[in-house]
């Protein structure tokens, strides 16, 4: 072991003072990525649930209301049908520090279920 000299005094304090802002920045970035990931998952869940509900024949107004309850606040929800399929798109933005807005969204497609009257006699 070497003996401490007067030149070494405060070295740990100085190194810690230099490292703390970097640790804070990394923490802020990780929190921001977490917010974006959670919002993306909510968009995916909302689009999938809405597509299933429309495919079952639920009214579009009810479907949009239920999807809005799952999606991030302020998300735009679009429902459309074409060629025996339903397409639901959920889009939103996540506001991050320093004025950054990250666009996120999801799209789900489901086959429309036929009703008993569409199938004919059994």
pLDDT, tens digit (0-9, with 9 covering 90-100), for 47-56 = 999 999 999 9
> Rounded to an integer, what distance in angstroms lies between the CA atom of residue 61 and that of residue 50?
11
Angle of CA points 72, 75, 78, to nearest 5°: 130
Q: Domain map of the chain by residue range?
A: 8-119
Strand-pairing partners, residue 80, are: 87
Reading phi first (left if > 0) and then psi (alpha if -120 to 50, else beta), residue 48 is in alpha
Band of pLDDT at residue 121, cut at 50, 70 and 90:
very low
Query: Sign of the C-alpha dihedral, residues 51, 57, 60, 64?
Result: negative
Instruction: Please write the tens of the pLDDT for every residue from 81-99.
Output: 988 999 999 999 999 888 8
Percentage of the chain with pLDDT > 90? 66
Q: Which helix (H) or strand (E) holds 18?
A: helix 11-56
The model's pTM is 0.77
């Amino acid at each position: 072991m070497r003996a401490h000299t007067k030149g070494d005094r405060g070295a740990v304090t100085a190194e810690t003072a230099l490292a703390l802002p970097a640790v804070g920045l990394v923490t802020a970035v990780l929190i921001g990525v977490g917010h974006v990931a959670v919002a993306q998952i909510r968009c995916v869940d909302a689009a999938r649930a809405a597509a299933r509900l429309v495919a079952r024949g639920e009214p579009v107004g009810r479907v949009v209301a239920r999807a809005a309850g799952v999606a991030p606040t302020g998300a735009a929800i679009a429902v459309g049908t074409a060629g025996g399929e339903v397409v639901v798109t959920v889009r939103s933005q996540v506001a991050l520090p320093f004025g950054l807005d990250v666009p996120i969204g999801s799209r789900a497609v489901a086959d429309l279920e036929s009703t008993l009257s569409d199938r004919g006699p059994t």
